[in-house]
């Protein structure tokens, strides 16, 4: 409800300070009884609130499960994540996002699920998305850009995610063009960018993010254990999924606004700082062929430039990269 949102915004703005029932009632425009009722509901959801006589309330712990309220608390964006659809179990958040985008959901709308039973990667591959351990979400954007520039959004998202992981865990992830985020060579996050477009006009871009957060090695199916990792495995301690989500929202909004204002160039520089494949010998596989050569960099549009063993330059728009 709007009252609940206002209440969480009030706690967000108060930071570490206590808020008295009276002050909250005035801030959000309701009775003190209504304030108590909402505080009780937050407790039932798993929030821990400290109550100090003559001072008031302060939130000291947020629930393990991601809740809409927890995402609201501390969120400092203007549009990304302001409208969140939260689901317990879905086939794929992409599917829901496509439907919402078609129904004119505002830019920045996000669908988050605790579990996906038919999570997907590129080219209809499967994405393993077990319950309560990862971040499985889709974000709707509506940039006014020509169709060929859409892949730039994948690179931009990768930068936002790497920065959020760095900020929260101190781990140093790397980006493998175009859409993999790796730690020590293993995949911790995948990004799937899909489009709704008519002729050459983009209606919406749906950015799917799958991040392994608190899985143990045994939580992965055997075939993924050698190629996948989680932040918990790398860091040795649990990481708050909602803090990560909020970090991603904040970075993504900042970079996206920069991108709309100044184009891809500033994003490209940031991206290159995290990229691993550049300057290395790689193989790029597409459905129809494969090229081996040295990755030279990306164009100003985000296309991969490779020089093969005969000195011929190739522009790679979409492929799987082997290092």
For ligand BTX, give the closer residue by CB, 56 or 130.
130
Least distance (Å) between residue 175 CB and ligand BTX: 12
Nearer to ligand BTX, 42 or 160 (CB): 160
Report how far residue 110's alpha carbon sits from residue 207's, in angstroms, rounded to the nearest whole number.
9
In angstroms, give the least distance from the CB of 22 to ligand BTX: 43
**Nearest residue (CB) to ligand BTX, 179 versus 277:** 179
Distance of CA 27 to the CA centre of its chain: 31
Helix 241-262, helix 265-274: angle, nearest 10: 140
Least Å distance between CB 101 and ligand BTX? 14
DSSP H stretches of helix in the chain? 2-14, 21-28, 32-44, 68-72, 93-102, 151-169, 222-225, 231-235, 241-262, 265-274
Shortest separation between residue 179's beta carbon and ligand BTX, angstroms: 6
**Of 65 and 186, CB closest to ligand BTX:** 186
Instruction: List the structure tokens of 282.
Output: 């790689």
* Cβ–Cβ < 8 Å for 206, 150: no
Local structure of 171: helix, strand or coil: coil
For ligand BTX, the closer CB: 21 or 121: 121
Q: Judged by CB, which is closer to ligand BTX: 42, or 213?
A: 213
Residues 85, 90, 92, 98, CA torsion sign:
negative
What is the rounded distance in angstroms from the CA atom of residue 147 to the CA atom of residue 200?
6
Q: How far is the CB of 40 from ligand BTX (least distance, A)?
A: 34
Supply the minimum distance, in Å, between the C-beta of residue 265 and ligand BTX. 26
Contact 182, 160 (CB under 8 A): no
Please identify, using beta-carbon distances, which residue of 62 and 129 lies nearer to ligand BTX: 129
Burial degree of 133 (CB within 10 A; 0-12, 13-18, 19+): buried
Q: Are 139 and 250 within 8 A, CB to CB?
A: no
Residue 130 C-beta: closest distance to ligand BTX, Å: 8
Per CB under 6 A, residues contacting ligand BTX are: 92-94, 116, 119-122, 125-129, 136-138, 179, 187, 190-192, 208-210, 212, 224, 228
């Amino acid at each position: 409800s709007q009252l609940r949102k206002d209440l969480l915004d009030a706690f967000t703005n108060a930071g570490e300070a206590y808020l008295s029932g009276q002050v909250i009632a005035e801030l959000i425009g309701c009775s003190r009884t209504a304030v108590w009722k909402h505080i009780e509901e937050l407790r039932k959801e798993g929030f821990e609130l400290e109550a100090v006589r003559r001072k008031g309330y302060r939130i000291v712990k947020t629930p393990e499960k991601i809740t809409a309220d927890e995402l609201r608390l501390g969120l400092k964006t203007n549009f990304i994540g302001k409208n969140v659809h939260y689901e317990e179990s879905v086939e794929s958040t992409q599917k829901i996002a496509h439907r919402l985008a078609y129904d004119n959901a505002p830019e920045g709308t996000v669908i988050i699920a605790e579990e996906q039973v038919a999570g997907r990667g590129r080219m209809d591959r499967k994405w393993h998305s077990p319950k309560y351990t990862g971040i499985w979400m889709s974000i709707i954007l509506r940039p006014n850009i020509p169709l060929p520039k859409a892949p730039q959004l994948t690179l931009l998202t990768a930068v936002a995610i790497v920065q959020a992981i760095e900020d929260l865990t101190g781990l140093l992830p790397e980006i493998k063009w175009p859409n993999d985020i790796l730690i020590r060579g293993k995949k911790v996050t995948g990004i799937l960018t899909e489009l709704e477009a008519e002729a050459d006009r983009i209606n919406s871009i749906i950015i799917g993010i799958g991040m392994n957060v608190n899985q143990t090695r045994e939580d992965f199916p055997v075939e993924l254990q050698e190629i996948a990792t989680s932040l918990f495995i790398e860091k040795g301690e649990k990481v708050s999924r909602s803090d990560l989500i909020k970090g991603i929202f904040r970075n993504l909004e900042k970079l996206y606004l920069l991108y709309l204002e100044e184009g891809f160039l500033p994003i490209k520089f940031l991206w290159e700082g995290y990229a691993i494949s550049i300057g290395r010998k790689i193989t790029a596989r597409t459905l129809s062929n494969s090229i081996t050569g040295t990755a030279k960099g990306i164009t100003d549009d985000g296309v991969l430039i490779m020089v093969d063993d005969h000195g011929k330059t190739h522009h790679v728009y979409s492929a799987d990269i082997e290092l």
